[in-house]
């Protein structure tokens, strides 16, 4: 495939008529418009999303392309963007979010310097939907990072965890190695960030924030009602990541048997990273169970999950860094009633 653009931005767009213009305007900066490809993946919208996408495609025919498909959920939209991408690098953005101009220009300037980085990691902001104020900046870098340096991924993988909104992938890598992302399923960002990990060789970090994540809209998956409604989705994604971890654990064991120390160390580092990602999902699953008000059922599901993880995936169990989960474990889960009250109070 010819790589005629430096960066493809896939906009996952479903029922975003109120936000899509802001999203696209933030990307279509005169300084970089000739270097980027913007794919508006309309995932079966029934509002004015399609109309807005068509208008921008007509106005910017060399940059914007509208792709329409039947509704398949966020994973289907991201997956289609990956399949259609022609840029050297790839970033996905939700149709109700946007990018910071200065950070975006900084990212493009850095991408021009090298076409071999597997991941470029940038900070991002949580922005309050109602006030427009930045709530928090999330940086996935590690203490002592040298911004702009290209690191071997396994050299620093124990010190980091990279979130979806921070990531810019090398397109060729994910087109070759990204497995199908689950359709009609929430929480698939974990699949996007973790399933290609066994193939990641290099990573770089930049200092300026790029992604601006709109927080506080009704449709987001981590509010109380949606957490409960989509509990089975999270269980499905957790299962998929545990399968990926198991595959990596088997590969690591096989390499150790062959006696290749350096390669075994690299595979073990990848295994630890996947364990860390799976542990984060386990903590989120416990949080979702705690969001329900049925005390007996809640406590039982947590115990079953924890017993399974401890027995089948001990490295995942030990990789937990969530303070609330640690307290629950030390209490023998007797504090689940209080924890449930706190979760429901915070999210209601």
Residues 182 and 324 in one domain: no
Q: Are residues 210 and 229 in the same domain?
A: no
Residues 149 and 62 in one domain: yes
Relative to beta strand 134-138, strand 124-128 is antiparallel
Specify whether 60 is located in the same domain as 183: yes
Do both 141 and 288 map to the same domain?
Answer: no
25 and 148: one domain?
A: yes
pLDDT tens sequence across 108-156:
999 999 999 999 999 999 999 888 899 999 999 999 999 999 999 999 9
What is residue 220's predicted lDDT score, i.e. its pLDDT?
A: 55
Last residue of a domain, one of 186, 215, 244: 215
Domain final residue pick, 215, 239, 264? 215
Can you list the residues of the chain whose pLDDT is less than 70?
1-2, 217-223, 294-298, 347-348
Identify the domain containing residue 74 by its residue range: 5-215
Question: Structural domain tally of the chain?
Answer: 2
Same domain for 142 and 97, yes or no, is yes
Order of strands across the sheet that contains 124-128: 98-99, 211-215, 124-128, 134-138
Query: Phi-psi region for residue 13, left (φ > 0), alpha (ψ -120 to 50) or beta?
Result: beta
Same structural domain, 254 and 203:
no
Nearest by Cα to 332 from 302, 311, 292, 312: 302
Specify whether 26 is located in the same domain as 126.
yes
Distances 106 to 205, 209, 255, 307 between C-alpha atoms, Å? 12, 9, 40, 46
* Tokens at 95, concatenated: 């149709």
The 10s digit of each residue's pLDDT in 284-331 is: 999 999 888 765 666 789 999 999 999 999 999 999 999 999 999 999
Residues 210 and 265 in one domain: no
Q: Could you tell me the CATH number of the domain that includes residue 156?
A: 3.90.550.10
Distance, in Å, from the CA atom of 42 to the CA atom of 56, rounded to the nearest integer, reads 13
- Of 194, 215, 236, the one marking the end of a domain is 215
């Amino acid at each position: 495939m010819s790589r005629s653009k430096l960066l493809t931005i896939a906009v996952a767009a479903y029922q975003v008529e109120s936000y899509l213009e802001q999203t696209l305007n933030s990307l279509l900066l005169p300084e970089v418009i000739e270097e980027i490809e913007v794919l508006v993946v309309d995932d079966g919208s029934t509002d004015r999303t399609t109309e807005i996408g068509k208008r921008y495609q007509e106005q910017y025919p060399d940059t914007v392309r509208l792709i329409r498909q039947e509704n398949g959920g966020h994973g289907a939209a991201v997956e289609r963007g990956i399949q259609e991408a022609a840029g050297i690098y790839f970033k996905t953005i939700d149709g109700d979010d946007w990018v910071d101009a200065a950070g975006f220009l900084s990212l493009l300037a850095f991408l021009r310097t090298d076409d071999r980085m597997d991941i470029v990691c940038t900070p991002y902001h949580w922005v309050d939907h109602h006030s427009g104020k930045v709530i928090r900046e999330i940086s996935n870098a590690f203490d002592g990072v040298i911004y702009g340096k290209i690191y071997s991924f396994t050299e620093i993988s124990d010190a980091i965890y990279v979130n979806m909104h921070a990531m810019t992938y090398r397109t060729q890598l994910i087109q070759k190695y990204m497995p199908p992302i689950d359709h009609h399923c929430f929480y698939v960002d974990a699949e996007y960030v973790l399933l290609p990990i066994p193939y990641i060789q290099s990573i770089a970090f930049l200092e300026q924030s790029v992604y601006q994540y709109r927080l506080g809209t009704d449709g987001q998956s981590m509010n109380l009602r949606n957490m409960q409604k989509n509990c089975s989705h999270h269980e499905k994604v957790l299962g998929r990541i545990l399968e990926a971890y198991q595959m990596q654990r088997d590969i690591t064991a096989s390499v150790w048997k062959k006696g290749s120390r350096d390669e075994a160390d690299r595979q073990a580092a990848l295994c630890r990273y996947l364990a860390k990602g799976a542990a984060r999902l386990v903590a989120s699953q416990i949080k979702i169970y705690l969001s329900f008000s049925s005390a007996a059922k809640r406590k039982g599901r947590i115990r079953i999950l924890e017993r399974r993880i401890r027995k089948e995936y001990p490295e995942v169990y030990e990789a937990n860094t969530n303070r609330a989960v640690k307290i629950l474990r030390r209490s023998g889960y007797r504090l689940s009633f209080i924890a449930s009250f706190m979760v429901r109070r915070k999210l209601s």
